Amino acid sequence: QVIKCKAAVLWEANKPFSIEEVEVAPPKEHEVRIKIMATGICRSDDHVITGALVMPFPIILGHEAAGVVESVGQGVTSVKPGDKVIPLFVPQCGECKTCLNTKGNLCIKTDLGTSAGLMPDGTTRFTYKGKAIYHFLGTSTFTEYTVVHESAVAKIDSAAPLEKVCLIGCGFSTGYGAALQTAKVEPGSTCAVFGLGGVGLSAVMGCKAAGASRIIAVDINKDKFAKAKELGATDCINPKDFNKPIHEVLTEMTGGGVDYSFEVIGRTDTMTAALACCQYNYGVSVIVGVPPAAQKITFDPMLLFTGRNWKGSVFGGWKSKDAVPKLVADYMKKKFVLDPLITHTLPWTKINEGFDLLRTGK
């Protein structure tokens, strides 16, 4: 059956969302229809609004959520109606070259990089008065019901609080995994985290969980420092307080640079600064923030020639379908906290207010 429900539709760039009644088609073969119970808002959604991440319009954004399976298409075996689930913006098909490689997690079925805005079969499940509406990253969670491919959904503990574990769908896992999975931070090491939003704070938590002895948090908004310290940062610095480039400040503070640095903003200038602040021979710098479209980086290759490692990380390097249920289980065992990452809880019809709070750093 087609479900009619409310969704936050973005008709064009740089405009607010409008709450519309849309039609959500039933799941096709190997697809799952989910009732969304809670969704987080992420800077990557805002990047589509501003045009920094190019996607087709009209579109239903949102990719960090938790919900309950409403119905399944033919051939679906991993979930059934009534299961609590988290949609996965990085799917795990289990068959492609990346899924079969122990080092990789960016499944070939992902829409990141192709920006098609369609289901794997090249069609959409959302319509408004007969007009097709595009999907976002195969998830589209700013709606009461969504349809995802079976490779893009993970069944989780039925006791998990959906309004908290929705963060495991993107922000928390992305930052925490960048430290634990991608960088493989070692006990006693020194780390720098650029950007203290939800993902940056999760990277701080990952560095702490890995046993880093010094975690330097960097942000131009000093209001973020108290929470960073609560979650494990040992030092907090504001680049605006110095007359010299921030990478020089960090290099001096640490006697030659940090072991690991993380850029969790999505700006090319901070990506280069994060690279330059890590130790010249064995430092590792990880790009976590989504790079802006149509921007290039120019840097001195000597930065890499001396031995530094520059890496990228999508969804914290986790193989999504395998890792998400385990991360939820770890949360239930109190191995990490999520409450400090939740600043506001709004009814979803106030989604535009939520984005205002994101943009003002609140």
CA distance 166 to 38: 6
Please name which of 138, 219, 182, 223 lies closest in space to residue 311, comparing C-alpha atoms. 182
CB 193 within 8 A of CB 262: yes
Which residues on adjacent β-strands are paired with residue 226? none
CB 43 within 8 A of CB 266: yes
CA distance 251 to 239: 13
The total number of residues written for the chain in this structure? 362
Please name which of 288, 103, 278 lies closest in space to residue 198, comparing C-alpha atoms. 288
Residues 6+ apart with CB under 8 A from 346: 353, 354
Please name which of 154, 130, 131, 121 lies closest in space to residue 34, comparing C-alpha atoms. 154
CA distance 359 to 145: 26
CA distance 32 to 151: 10
List active site positions.
Answer: 42, 44, 47, 63, 170
